[in-house]
Homo-oligomer: A and B are copies of this chain.
Amino acid sequence: MKVCIAQLNYHLGNFESNFSKIKNAIIHAKEQKADLIVFSELAICGYYPIDLLEKKTFVENCDKYLKKIIDLSNNIGIIIGLPTINPSERGKKLFNSAAFIFNGELKKLVHKTLLPTYDIFDEYRHFEPNNVFELIEFNGEKIAITICEDIWDEQKVYGDFGKKTIYNNNPFDILAKLNPDFVINISASPFSYNQVNNRRNVLLDKSIKYSLPILYVNQVGANTDLIFDGGSLAVNSKRQIVLECKYFEEDIQIIDTSLFNSYLEVSGNRNRIEDIYSALTLGIKDYFAKSGFSKAVLGLSGGIDSAVTLAIAVDALGHENVMSILMPAKYSSDHSINDSIEMLKRTSSPYQIVNIENIRLELLNTLNEVFIGTKEDITEENIQARIRGTILMAFSNKFGNILLNTSNKSEFAVGYSTLYGDMNGALSILGDVYKTDVYKLANFINEKHNNIIPQNIINKAPSAELRPNQKDEDSLPPYEILDKILFSYIEKKLSKEEILGFDEETVNYVIKLVNNSEFKRFQAAPILRISSKAFGQGRKFPIVAKY
């Protein structure tokens, strides 16, 4: 049987556009004489709609477009994901379903069994879990249909609570006992830099454990903060990859199931920094394309974060579409402007210089009477950041350029960023990238893009330049140490007692900074997610609490 894997980029709630892509893929599959075409999880509406699922018209649209897809199913089997109404009087109102369609008929709806509720996932908010397990029969073969998490029954629990798995049942195990010829899994599995290998291993382990080939169909593209990387796979029953789709782009491939015995040489580990770069580029591209915007603006400071953001944005949107605003003030060093201009020459992207010194002086002058008798402190530093934020937003308002936030994960973590100042932005590009990884990204970008970032920007000591001779490391541990402590605390969820190998006082200080800045992160822009634990919807901590 020839199966077409349709790895597409869906737009949440844009039924017409999604349908048009689905239709084209079906036409292509028919031309290629495919027997079956498989789309990803919730393909008809896009993943994840969150509370759009509470709108009746949204769910009705899913059904309406399902019918249009059924109309295209003459002589081809179609498997596609969508939410469907739970007909029972009890339970959550929807199922997360896969429709199996053939010759103008909806042959079967298969529902998702394992509903993830950790990190960014919240599927039990809307979906009832499945508890009926049957195979479908098609073209003389028996197929087990599973949906995303259904093959992740061994999903580990983070933290040392002694659990083997968070799930009480194992749909793969139940289905395998029904003796299918192969398994299909339709997914919407978001990227994180460790997920690619995880995912391959989960599929390979399952295939050998049950002696079953698996066809895994993922989606690609970004929806606000979540980036889907594609990389759909076919694995045979001998722990071998037979086919792998492209990463970070749409891909339609056809596999003949009689070839399940062959295999493909797949290079081992992927390049982590290259994957992050691709993910961030796709994240920007899709945020703009799916929102109907084309032009960005950012504040270019002469530091590495804004330089890396600029480089990625130029790749994503085109050099002519990324406006840089340079905003020197009293404490800005000359090299900040010179290095920025040198980079802008290399990117050939437009810029404006807006000196904020007069505004700063006028603000201080106006506040003079109110601040009488006080000393200069962080207030005056924040004022500079907020003037810059105001100018960037004024540019954004006036010309319709969308503001990109340039803060990195280390800063967000310890709260070294100014709320309503440099935290401004519609989308944070580096907010899930630790500073030490920002350097690695800079070097990768320079290798890939002909040294677009001046070496001086990479070499200089990090500074916010908000007071004379300020350096980040005056008040923070060196980033090599800081980032390791942060990773232990945030990604690995270790307590301060468990974070070993560092000065105890330093660990306590860093953790205190993280806990004390929940209120800032609560108001942060959406952050492109590239790690297993990004700030944002996947990490929920109370603001008013004793930590």
Contacts and interface: CB of A to CB of B under 8 A. Distances in A.
Given A125-B117, A163-B93, A393-B419, A291 B544 contact: yes
Contacts of A51: 539-541
Interface stretch (A244-252, A259-267, A375-383, A476-484): A375-383
A56 B160 contact: yes
A48 B493 CA distance: 19
Interface in A457-485: none
A519 interface: yes
Nearest to A116: B125
A348 interface: no
A89 B153 CA distance: 13
A10 to B, nearest CB: 11
Interface in A347-370: 352, 354-356, 358-359, 362-363, 365-367, 370
Given A124-B117, A374-B398, A497-B57, A223 B168 contact: no
A181 to B, nearest CB: 29
A89 B378 contact: no
A90 B52 CA distance: 32
Interface string A519-533: 100111110000000
A55 B495 contact: yes
Nearest to A122: B122
A168 B91 contact: yes
Nearest to A290: B544
A13 interface: yes
Contacts of A286: 544
27 contacts: A11-B545, A13-B545, A15-B546, A46-B545, A55-B493, A85-B162, A90-B168, A91-B166, A91-B167, A93-B159, A122-B540, A222-B544, A223-B542, A224-B544, A354-B366, A354-B367, A358-B366, A359-B359, A362-B362, A363-B391, A379-B394, A383-B390, A383-B394, A393-B420, A420-B424, A426-B519, A526-B543
